[in-house]
Amino acid sequence: MSQDEMQAQYEAYPYPERDPADENKRLITGSPSLPTEMDHHLWGGARDWSRPLRALVAGGGTGDGLIQLAQLLTDAGRPYEITYLDLSFAARRIAEARAAARGLAGITFVTGSLLDAAGHGRFDYIDCCGVLHHLPEPQAGFDALAKALAPGGGMGLMVYAPLGRSGVYPLQAAFGTLFRDLEPQERLRQAKAVFARLPAGHPFRFNPHLVDHRQGDAGFYDLLLHSSDQPFTIDRLIDALNRAGLALAGVPEPALYDPTEILPDGVQVPKDLGPAQRMALVENLRGTFKVHVVYAVSGDTPKKPPLGQSQAIPHLRGILGPHLAQAVAKKGAIRISAGGEKITLELPKSAAPLIAMIDGRTPLASIRQCAGLDPIAFGARWGPVERVLCGYGQLHYSGLFAGRP
């Protein structure tokens, strides 16, 4: 697909399909580009948020990542300068309208290619979601973004994965053969007519994880009519990062890529497997990943999350500490959705009082003191909370609200 063809698609069907009027109803959130999650994986939970975050949203589409990042930093009272970059004028207009509806400032809107990212400066953070797999030469995209990172900066990336999209690629190939010479609107009309006649046994019909085609014309087109779509297995993604001089800093739900979380007792992982090979093993075992979301940094020595460190400040993702504490105290478990699965997370009931004190402002040392526990007793109670909730992306360490009222 040429740049002109891709631009024509997104002018006709900006993706994802969004209505700026909905901004007064809800904020769409997700990984990557949650500020506390970014801090946890990229900066050891210790970023100085009084320093403005200079960010690039590369291939920003209709603005989900942009609006999330700008709104959450605004809510936290933290300064930022965000550059939005996308080929589509239509998508840009929607993103601009969404930002205007929220009164968000500090955003510069640019129409252009992410391959020219470095021409817009150097950035502390780069968001690039759902774009690199659409480039004719994806590695050129990784390389271009790497050149736009400032020293100490990091990225949050999302690319499509093949196994959770089973059934998609045969249809893309068939529709590409049938409709390659048609304009986008006619291509969509005819593809929908063919799709309605798919046999019941088609692999697409059996994939419960595919929903975009039910969520409007833009979703159907992007899922099944995109003529440049190269999904990444996790090991291929890590290799692309390395080729660009980047290193994997983390994934939002590391437990999903841990073979010990899925293998039964007695089944051993071969000792000669490296980290990327272990993650690839789990991808093949689960078979449900539609996308891979990763954080990456320049070089080969990413900072580790400050697990268990006394001055680290814990945050819960979308859950208030007292509410989660009540559930843990009552049931000793919570139920979440992760990686296309429903997962039960077991937590010790004795940890409920500690969870109740998580407010995004109180460091672990103060939580320990308030609980009246010595370091050893605190570690015994906090350790399982940290392991389980960090493992499934429900707990992050960050100073985002440090010193804020």
Answer whether residue 102 shows pLDDT above 70: yes
Percentage of the chain beyond pLDDT 70 is 99
The pLDDT of residue 318: 82
* Sheet with strand 246-250: strands edge to edge: 107-111, 80-86, 53-58, 123-129, 149-160, 291-298, 246-250
Average pLDDT over residues 153-162: 98
Average pLDDT over residues 291-296: 98
Answer whether residue 404 shows pLDDT above 80: no
The pLDDT of residue 3: 67
Structure tokens at 382: 């906090």
The pLDDT of residue 227: 83
User: Which 3 state secondary structure label does DSSP give 40?
Assistant: helix
Residue 219 is classified by DSSP as H
The pLDDT of residue 300: 76
Calpha distance 297→228 (Å, rounded): 27
Burial of 286 (0-12, 13-18, 19+ CB in 10 A): middle
The pLDDT of residue 246: 97
Burial of 118 (0-12, 13-18, 19+ CB in 10 A): middle
Answer whether residue 64 shows pLDDT above 70: yes
pLDDT band at 45 (very low <50, low <70, confident <90, very high): very high
Calpha distance 360→319 (Å, rounded): 11
Calpha distance 178→176 (Å, rounded): 6
pLDDT tens digits, residue range 233-277?
Answer: 999 999 999 999 999 999 999 999 999 999 999 999 999 999 999
Helix/strand/coil (H/E/C) assignment for every residue in 370-384: HHCCCHHHHHHHHHH
pLDDT tens digits, residue range 105-134?
Answer: 999 999 999 999 999 999 999 999 999 999
What is the number of alpha carbons within 13 Å of residue 60 lying toward its C-beta? 36
Answer whether residue 28 shows pLDDT above 60: yes
Structure tokens at 119: 């021409």
Answer whether residue 405 shows pLDDT above 80: no
- What stretch of H or E contains 181? none
Comparing 158-167, 320-329, 361-370, which segment has the lowest mean pLDDT?
A: 320-329
Q: Where are the domains of the chain?
A: 3-160+232-298, 164-224, 314-397
**Rg of the chain's alpha carbons, rounded to an integer?**
22
Which residues fall within 8 angstroms of residue 28, CB to CB, at 6 or more apart?
Answer: 64, 67, 68
The pLDDT of residue 299: 85
pLDDT tens digits, residue range 362-397?
Answer: 999 999 999 999 999 999 999 999 999 999 999 999
Answer whether residue 403 shows pLDDT above 90: no
Answer whether residue 104 shows pLDDT above 70: yes
The pLDDT of residue 83: 98
Q: What is the mean pLDDT of the chain?
A: 95
Average pLDDT over residues 64-88: 97
Fold category of 3-160+232-298 in CATH:
Rossmann fold (3.40.50)
pLDDT band at 302 (very low <50, low <70, confident <90, very high): confident
Average pLDDT over residues 320-347: 88
Calpha distance 124→82 (Å, rounded): 10
Calpha distance 335→333 (Å, rounded): 7
Answer whether residue 53 shows pLDDT above 80: yes
- Which residue would you say has higher pLDDT here, 339 or 200? 200
What is the number of alpha carbons within 13 Å of residue 154 lying toward its C-beta? 26
